[in-house]
């Protein structure tokens, strides 16, 4: 982040929105929009935003795998027959 270039008042953003959006795609850094001196919004190019979403999805998948491996190590597992029986019992209750 470059404080001088990446933070701007909403009024400046309104006046230069088209130019700023073009620049976002080039510099690949978000711009922080302020109102009354406080950051109120973040504007980012779509490609960089999608990369963040993809990374979050990847990390959530890795965390799920890690939790599963921890469950296996701790013996928190069920056989297919046990799971099947529980699902059948739930279905019969509905």
- What pLDDT, on a 0 to 100 scale, did the predictor assign at position 93? 85
Burial class (CB in 10 A: 0-12, 13-18, 19+), 48: middle
With a cut of 90, say whether residue 45 has pLDDT above it: yes
Global pTM reads 0.72
Report domain 1-44's class.
alpha beta
Pairing mode, if any, of strands 38-43 and 31-35? antiparallel
Boundaries of every domain in the chain:
1-44, 45-94
State mean pLDDT over 27-55.
96
With a cut of 80, say whether residue 3 has pLDDT above it: no
- Taking the C-alpha atoms of residue 3 and residue 44, their distance in angstroms, rounded to an integer, is 15
Q: Find all residues with CB under 8 Å of 47, minimum gap 6, and list them.
A: 25, 28
């Amino acid at each position: 982040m470059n404080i001088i270039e990446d933070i701007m008042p909403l009024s400046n953003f309104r006046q230069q929105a088209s130019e700023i959006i073009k620049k976002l795609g080039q510099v690949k850094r978000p711009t922080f929009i302020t109102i009354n001196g406080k950051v109120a919004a973040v504007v980012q190019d779509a490609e960089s935003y999608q990369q963040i979403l993809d990374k979050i999805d990847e990390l959530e998948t890795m965390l799920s795998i890690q939790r599963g491996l921890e469950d296996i190590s701790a013996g928190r597992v069920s056989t297919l027959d046990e799971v099947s029986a529980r699902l059948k019992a739930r279905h019969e209750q509905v």
